[in-house]
Amino acid sequence: MAEIKLLRADFRLIHGQVITKWIRQTTANKILIIDDALANDEFMSSIYMMAAPPGIEVLTHTVDEACEKWLNNGYQNAKLFVLFKDVDSIYRAYKKGFEVKDVQIGGLGAGPGRKVVYGPITMDKNDIHQLKELSDNGVHVYLHQVPDDPSLEFSKVLAKNLF
């Protein structure tokens, strides 16, 4: 069975911090990007594959594909660094049976209805609701941009009553 070394929400997916910092913090041998739009865009998928460090395979799957593969041991003995662009995709994957024990929120972009909750990390009411449900069901949710910076527990975000 595959092992999830890190499950992270970051709207930028593979970028400098992911490559230079987080991949070194794990023993992952594959990056699994779970994103419906990207998985259906062959050109953009190839760009992310080229951005990965040498020796690290990149897989792009839809939420449904990833859940099916997970439930049927399709990732075999891989050590996965799992990336999502948004909280909603994590929530949908969790509801469909994808293993979600820890969620690291690394970067959620700005936009209408979003509020800054920690550093440059923003959330909206839907993010808060979905992450709270995950947290209430025993999933460890925390915010952490780069390994050198401190993290913040999601419960501290809830205590701020920003929404």
Q: What is the DSSP code string of 81-149?
A: EEEESSHHHHHHHHHTT---SEEEEEE----TT-EEEETTEEE-HHHHHHHHHHHHTT-EEEE-SSTTS
- Per-residue pLDDT for 19 more than 90? no
CATH numbers and ranges of domains, the chain: 3-159 (3.40.35.10)
Which pLDDT score is estimated for 152? Answer: 96
Over the stretch 85-131, which tens digit does the pLDDT of each residue have? 999 999 999 999 999 999 999 999 899 999 999 988 999 999 999 99
- Percent of the chain residues topping a pLDDT of 90: 82
Helices 63-71 and 87-95: crossing angle in degrees, nearest 10, is 40
- Per-residue pLDDT for 162 more than 80? no
Cα→Cα distances 25→18, 22, 29, 148, Å: 10, 5, 12, 11
DSSP for 53-100, please give it: PTT-EEEEE-HHHHHHHHHTTTTTT-EEEEEESSHHHHHHHHHTT---
- Per-residue pLDDT for 163 more than 80? no
- Per-residue pLDDT for 160 more than 90? no
Place of tokens 């701020």: 160
Which pLDDT score is estimated for 161? Answer: 78
DSSP-assigned beta bridge partners for residue 38: none
Over the stretch 52-68, which tens digit does the pLDDT of each residue have? 888 899 999 999 999 99
- Per-residue pLDDT for 74 more than 90? yes
> For residue 160, which phi and psi values (nearest 5 degrees)?
-75, -15
What is the Cα–Cα distance from 143 to 21, expressed in whole angstroms?
Answer: 15
Helix (H) or strand (E) holding 152: strand 152-153
What is the Cα–Cα distance from 135 to 32, expressed in whole angstroms?
Answer: 23
pLDDT band at 17 (very low <50, low <70, confident <90, very high): confident
